[in-house]
Chains A and B, each alone.
Chain A
Amino acid sequence: MYQAMTGLSDKHETWRIEAGTLLSDEEVERIRPSLTWLLEQGLVRELDTELEEEPDGEVQ
């Protein structure tokens, strides 16, 4: 899952993504050609979606 850290658009502004938006699959595809530099510069960040496993049978 990706999050836009700033406002994004294509150069013709046929689409816009506001800062803070969690990107849908369609939006990820829109920025796919530019994803490498957007990630490198922190303009888009990849969220850690792995769930932490709870220890079996332990009760506090």
Chain B
Amino acid sequence: MGKYSSADCGFLLIGGYSILGHTTTITENKQAEVKDKTALGMTWREFQYVGLKSGEMTQDGFFDDDTGATHDLFKAGNGLSRVGMFNLTGNAVGEPYIGWAGAIQVGYERRVSVGELHGASGKYRVSGAVDEGVILHELSAETADGNTQGADSQDAGASSSNGGAGIIELTDLDLDGGTGLQAKVRHSADDVTYADLLTFTTLTDIGAERVTVTGTVNRHLASSWDFTGSPGAGATATFAIGFARG
């Protein structure tokens, strides 16, 4: 806990695109909607929260037309809603992330100036929740089935009862003959036996998904992943998984 700098930013993932390496500035905010309830005879304005929250995000960086870079993401993105995930403090299991249930791209701006690298920025309005969760699998490549249960599980100290939301962002996938990547968020009350909490749709291409659950979420959280079918030795998947308690 403490202060952080640009070097600590772990990832910026939108719909399976990893664009941190093309980004120089991220501006993210959450807002609460209030209405003015000032009446005649009052000397100070008064406001009331009306129970609605919203989020916005703006990314600024370099124009890059490589596959998977900014132009690939932004060029046909206006109006599209994508699941997003963003980390400020380091790409590691247990670090916090900010998640967007539906980041709707509302703007794509390209800037060109003499003597400068071309710039590109995307603007987003968030439709639905802005999550504050914990990373259960850092953005990294896996070449075999696995999980973070045990040593890498996340102990919240107690269970919670309001469900939550899990996010997966898959940024690179080579199935090498396999049929897909099936990932899960799992939970445990005792760090001995783990049960499935939620199962993401089996992914066959880069992309992202956010899945919500209701009810009890036990104190220990972990992720697991399986290459389905019969993958060869060259199978690899690069992904991040997180979960935010409700």
Contact = CB atoms under 8 A, between A and B. Distances in A.
B190 A12 contact: no
B229 to A, nearest CB: 17
Interface in A4-48: 6-13, 19, 30-31, 33-34, 37-38, 41, 43
What range describes how many residues of A lie at the interface? 10 to 19
B195 A11 contact: no
Contacts of A19: 196
Contact of A31 (B153, B193, B215, B224): B193
B194 interface: yes
Interface of B: 147, 149-150, 153, 184, 186, 188-196, 215-216, 218, 222, 224
A43 B186 CA distance: 12
Contacts, number: 51
Contact of B192 (A10, A13, A43): A10
Interface of A: 6-13, 19, 30-31, 33-34, 37-38, 41, 43
A33 B222 CA distance: 19
* B196, B215, B216, most chain A CB atoms within 10 A: B196
A12 B195 contact: no
A38 B196 contact: no
A11 B149 contact: yes
B196 A11 contact: no
A26 to B, nearest CB: 14
Contact of A34 (B190, B215, B216, B222): B190
7 contacts: A8-B195, A9-B194, A11-B149, A13-B224, A34-B193, A41-B216, A43-B195
B190 A37 contact: yes
A7 B188 CA distance: 12
B196 A13 contact: no
Nearest to B147: A13
B146 to A, nearest CB: 9
B192 A7 contact: no
Among B149, B191, B194, B224, residue most surrounded by chain A Cβ atoms (within 10 Å)? B194
Contacts of B216: 41
A38 to B, nearest CB: 7
